[in-house]
Amino acid sequence: MSNISTLDNVAAGLRDTFDRSYTLPPASAGIEQTENLLVIRMAGDPYALRVGEISGLTNNNQIVPLPGRTPELLGIAGIRGGLISVYSLAALLGYPREPNQGRWLALCGNENRVGLAFGNLEGYLRIAAPQVFAARQEDAVRGHVKEVAHTANQVLAIVNIPLVMEMIASRCGEKSTSSEKP
Amino acid sequence: MWTFGRKIAAGFTLAFLLLTVIGAVAYRSINSLTTTSRSVTHTHEVLEQISEMLSLLKDAETGQRGYIITGDDSFLEPYRNAVDTMPKVVEKLRSLTSDNPSQQKRLEEATPLIQAKLAKLQQGIDLRRKGDLMQATRIIVGGTGKKIMDDLRALAARMEHEERELLGKRAEEVDLAAGGAQKTIIYGTLLCLMFITAAGLLITRSLSSQIGLAVKHVQSSSVELQATANQQASGARESSTAMNEITTTISELLATSRQIAESAQRVAHIAEETAQAARSGDQTVQMAHESVSAIKRHVDLIVTHMLDLGKKSQQIGGILEIINELAEQTNILAINATIEAAGAGDAGKRFAVVADEIRKLADRVGGSTKDIRTLIEEIRAAVNTTVMATEGGTKAVDLGARQFAEVTTSLKQITSLLKTTTEAAREIELSTKQQSRAVEQVNVAISDVARATRETEAGLSQTLQTATQLTGLSRDLTLLIQPTASA
């Protein structure tokens, strides 16, 4: 019975919060001073993606495998009427492949959009900009991590999406070059 | 092995056969002797008739000559007698020599000579009767009559000679037949005596040995019989003692049987009371069984409701999954809205705020759905536990119902068995009474047997005496048969 009363309180709180969001003035003053992050986890390590560096987020997409010698390329998926290439973010970061690694897709890029697949989304995080620091040498072991975000109980390595996209582009270039040479 | 009768019969049969053969041979020899003797007699008769024929002729001639000389008729008497008898003699001779053709032939030759001789004699007589003595004398002296007479004598001599030869042969045959008969009688008698002696010796020896062996067997059997009679007499004495003990025991058994009959009567009474109690218990158990059946129905209803509750909580879980998915999708939409709002610049700032609130709301909904899921899982676990407990209760109720049914069945069986026990106790009572009567009869019979045993003991003493006497008789018989075996 106590659990049910707790749930009643939770529902009331949700209702109040939602209603209040329409009554309070917009908190636009602090928007520039915050960082919106998606907290993900790969091979047990916590990571963060900047919301501003991705163009969308989907889940439970059908990924069709493609033959090829690029182990990071999981295949292609149909998103909003178009086909995009899907890469394993864990593989791109140097982790071994994980089960259920294609559950979440972070859509990146504007013209040549690709999907970065990962298996576990822990939530949305908004932190103050000063809580983001440049990564130390030991944190920047992987070349695509330049910054870290300090939260109350953990340190999140922020994946630099543009660097990841450059790496994908460079690998695609190598492939195309190597395929043109003969 | 041949029996005594067969041996004696065989000996007598062989002796009989031997005597029969000897008798047959002797009879044959005597018969031959008789036949030969008859032939000799026949030959003597023929010789006698030949002599008679010559004698008659001489008498006739003598009478004729006397008459011629004297003229006296009295001298003719021999002549007349000869004339009258001569045909008979000749006829008898013909009859006696009918089996001898040569003698018949001679007789045929002699017959006309006889007639001629008698005619000459008649002629002389006739002349003398006429008174012519000279002429009659001349006929005598003339020699005709003498010649006829000489011829007749010669014929008679040949006939006699042949008969004498036949007589000699037949005498030899008589001697041979008499000798054969004597030899047959003597040698046959000797052979028969030897055979009878040998058979007697053999039969005597065989019978002596067999009877001796049998007597020895009888002697040993009588000794064994004596020992057995001793043992049986001892056994009879022991049996008599045992019978007395059995009589005492049966008397005790009789008293015990009466006690058992009384106990069986009490058991029948108690079993009847127990059967009544079992019937009452059966009714109580039946009511309890109906109560348990009602409890079972209620428990089944509870199980059904609990299963419905489990199904509905499962359905709530499914709906919660949908809500959770909606919250997740809302969260994604809110994130995407935030992204789009960020891309829209200042125009999207207020939208970004709303999207952020929606995202928060979705986050909190997602958290709440997790809590609700936890609660539902707890409810489902509680329902499962309750269902399992209820099913356990149902099984316990089923078991109780079955046990009640078994108890009911057992009580019915107990009632039936008690009925059977009552009947059996009554039968035992009756049987025990019959047994008591039977034991009384057995007691009487045992007393009779004891008396018979004593009589048997006395009889066995008599048997022992008889066996002893039989042993002595066997020994005496052995001495009679084999005197040398006495040692």
Chain A 64-83, residues with CB within 8 Å of chain B CB atoms: none
Q: What integer is the mean pLDDT of B396-423?
A: 79
What percent of chain B is modeled with pLDDT above 70? 98
Is the CB of A27 inside 8 Å of chain B's CB atoms?
yes
Q: Is the reported ipTM for this assembly greater than 0.85?
A: no
Is the CB of A11 inside 8 Å of chain B's CB atoms?
yes
pLDDT by residue (tens digit) across B226-269? 888 888 878 877 887 888 788 788 878 888 887 887 888 888 78
pTM of the model as a whole: 0.42
What's the first-to-final CA gap in chain B, in angstroms? 29
**What pLDDT is attached to residue B483?**
65
CA distance A174 to chain B (A): 32
Q: Is A21 inside any structural domain?
A: no
**What pLDDT is attached to residue B485?**
54
Q: What integer is the mean pLDDT of A14-21?
A: 74
Give B289's pLDDT tier (boundaries 50, 70, 90): confident
pLDDT greater than 90 at residue A2: no
Q: Pull the structure tokens for residue B352.
A: 């970004």
Q: What integer is the mean pLDDT of B319-336?
A: 86
**What pLDDT is attached to residue A180?**
41
Domain count, chain A: 1
Q: Is A2 inside any structural domain?
A: no
Q: How far is CA B145 from CA A74, B55, B90, B130, in A?
A: 200, 15, 19, 20
pLDDT by residue (tens digit) across B466-485? 888 888 887 787 777 766 65
- Adjacent-strand bridge partners of A133: A148
pLDDT by residue (tens digit) across B79-102? 999 999 999 999 998 999 988 899
**Residue of B353, B359, B364 lying closest to A14 (CB–CB):** B364
CA distance A137 to chain B (A): 31
Q: What integer is the mean pLDDT of B103-125?
A: 90
**Contacts of the segment B349-356: beta carbons below 8 A, 24+ positions apart:** B349/A26, B349/A28, B349/A31, B350/A26, B350/A28, B352/A31, B353/A21, B353/A26, B353/A27, B353/A28, B354/A21, B356/A126
**Residue of B342, B357, B360 lying closest to A52 (CB–CB):** B342
Structure-model confidence comparison of residues B396 and B74, the more confident one: B74
How many Cβ contacts (< 8 angstroms) between chains A and B? 63
Q: What integer is the mean pLDDT of B350-371?
A: 81
Q: Is A156 inside any structural domain?
A: yes
Contacts of B326 (CB under 8 A, 6+ apart): B365
Q: Are strands A56-59 and A45-50 parallel, antiparallel or unpaired?
A: unpaired
- The answer to whether B349 contacts A36, with C-beta atoms less than 8 Å apart, is no
CA distance A11 to chain B (A): 8
**What pLDDT is attached to residue B271?**
80
**What pLDDT is attached to residue B274?**
83
Question: What is the rounded distance in angstroms from the CA atom of residue A166 to the CA atom of residue A48?
Answer: 18
Give A4's pLDDT tier (boundaries 50, 70, 90): low
**What pLDDT is attached to residue B3?**
73
Give B487's pLDDT tier (boundaries 50, 70, 90): very low
Q: Which residue range is the domain that position A147 belongs to? A: 28-180
Q: What integer is the mean pLDDT of A106-128?
A: 88
Task: Report the chain B residue with the minimal C-alpha distance to residue A126.
Answer: B356
Question: What is the rounded distance in angstroms from the CA atom of residue B394 to the CA atom of residue B302?
Answer: 10
Question: What is the rounded distance in angstroms from the CA atom of residue B364 to the CA atom of residue B156?
Answer: 200
Task: Report the chain A residue with the minimal C-alpha distance to residue B340.
Answer: A55
pLDDT greater than 70 at residue B320: yes
Q: Is A55 inside any structural domain?
A: yes
**Residue of A14, A38, A126 lying closest to B361 (CB–CB):** A14
Q: What integer is the mean pLDDT of B267-290?
A: 80
pLDDT by residue (tens digit) across B118-171? 898 898 899 888 888 888 888 888 888 888 888 989 989 999 999 999 888 888
Chain B CB contacts of A27 below 8 Å: 353
**Count, residues in chain B:** 487
pLDDT greater than 60 at residue B370: yes
Residue pair A103/A59 in contact by the 8 Å Cβ criterion: yes
Q: Name the most confidently modeled range: B3-7, B180-184, B403-407.
A: B180-184
Q: What is the sign, positive or negative, of the torsion defined by CA atoms of B271, B274, B280, B284?
A: negative
Chain B CB contacts of A11 below 8 Å: 368
Residue pair A124/A36 in contact by the 8 Å Cβ criterion: yes
Chain A 113-132, residues with CB within 8 Å of chain B CB atoms: 123-124, 126
pLDDT greater than 80 at residue A3: no
- The answer to whether B335 contacts A51, with C-beta atoms less than 8 Å apart, is yes
Q: Is A75 inside any structural domain?
A: yes
Q: Is A102 inside any structural domain?
A: yes
Q: Which of A40, A36, A41, A39 is nearest to A52 (CA)?
A: A36
Q: In a 10 Å sphere around its CB, with 0-12 CB exposed, 13-18 middle and 19+ buried, how is residue A69 labelled? A: exposed
Chain B CB contacts of A54 below 8 Å: 339
Chain B CB contacts of A56 below 8 Å: 336, 339
Q: Which helix (H) or strand (E) holds A129?
A: none
**What pLDDT is attached to residue A7?**
65
- The answer to whether A57 contacts B332, with C-beta atoms less than 8 Å apart, is yes
Is the CB of A52 inside 8 Å of chain B's CB atoms?
yes
Is the CB of B370 inside 8 Å of chain A's CB atoms?
no
Contacts of B195 (CB under 8 A, 6+ apart): B14, B15, B18
Task: Report the chain B residue with the minimal C-alpha distance to residue A51.
Answer: B339
Q: Is A15 inside any structural domain?
A: no
Is the CB of B349 inside 8 Å of chain A's CB atoms?
yes
Token match 């005197």: residue? Answer: B483
Q: What integer is the mean pLDDT of A160-169?
A: 89
Q: Pull the structure tokens for residue B69.
A: 């000389």
- The answer to whether B363 contacts A26, with C-beta atoms less than 8 Å apart, is no
Q: Is A22 inside any structural domain?
A: no
The CATH number linked to A32 is 2.40.50.180
- The answer to whether B361 contacts A38, with C-beta atoms less than 8 Å apart, is no
Task: Provide the H-helix boundaries in B132-143.
Answer: 133-141
| SS3 label, residue A121 | strand
Give A182's pLDDT tier (boundaries 50, 70, 90): very low
Is the CB of A34 inside 8 Å of chain B's CB atoms?
no
Phi-psi region of A48 (alpha: psi -120 to 50; beta: other; left: phi over 0): beta
pLDDT by residue (tens digit) across A55-75? 899 988 889 988 877 888 899
**What pLDDT is attached to residue A86?**
93
When the pLDDT of each residue in chain B is averaged and rounded to a whole number, the result is 83
| SS3 label, residue A113 | coil
Per mean pLDDT, which range of A106-120, B128-142, B279-293 is the poorest? B279-293
| SS3 label, residue B131 | coil
